[in-house]
Amino acid sequence: MHRLIIAVDGYSSCGKSTFAKAIARRMGYVYIDTGAMYRAVTLFALEQGMYGNGTLNRRRLYAALPDLQIDFAHDGEGGQPEIRLNGKAVEDRIRSGKVADLVSEVSALKPVRTRMTDLQRRMGADRGVVMDGRDIGTVIFPDADIKIFMTADNDVRAMRRLKELQQKHIETTFEEVKANILKRDRLDKTRKNSPLRQAEDAIVLDNSHMTPEDQMVWFEGILQKLQA
């Protein structure tokens, strides 16, 4: 089989990254977390003091975008890809609550999406990639070989996200996490530039009550149909 482009889209905290990583390992492909890329831009804006009185200085951010470098490298131990911002690893810092609160605003900006789209298409130019995000199957790679759209119950998503934050020793509550998820859903679906939507030819996966093993069995079925 020729090398594939696999797009994994869907709502936040559905386990897209975990599933996409598992698919990449199964296929021996490169994994690209596009959501992390937008988080990295948000982190950059915060750390460069581009927010004043809760307002983003868009002019400064837009001026910095051409020189902003975002890529992925494997860590030295488990071989998991970690994101780098201008050459520095920022995987943990982009998962903060502050970044989570602002990333939907930043990711909705057209110049930001244009810059990230360019980087993402370059990363997938040689195929053999699994890319997850919000608009992979609709905008980045509309001709992807496999398009998966993930969803799950809101409470399930919030609990998953809460456990992830707790493991990182980030203090928050279930109610705060759920409110953040629903806010991001609303912003992602209503933004003008590349809103979150299901591609017409995407395969829906509701993993509310599925284990990671269940999801891989499901994917194997998709792969077999493609190979038939």
The domain that holds 211 is classified in CATH as 3.40.50.300
Encoded tokens for 192? 């003008």
pTM score, whole prediction: 0.82
Number of domains in the chain: 1
Domain membership of residue 165 as a residue range: 5-227
pLDDT in single tens digits along all 228 residues of the chain: 689 999 999 998 999 989 999 999 999 998 998 989 999 999 999 999 999 888 999 999 999 999 999 998 866 555 567 899 999 999 889 988 899 889 988 988 999 999 999 999 998 888 999 999 888 999 999 999 999 999 999 999 999 999 988 988 888 999 999 999 999 899 888 888 778 889 999 999 999 999 999 999 999 999 999 887
* Residues 6 or more apart whose Cβ sits within 8 Å of residue 22: 212, 215, 216
Distances, alpha carbon 77 to alpha carbons 80, 82, 201, in Å? 8, 12, 38
Q: What integer pLDDT is reported at residue 82 of this predicted model?
A: 83
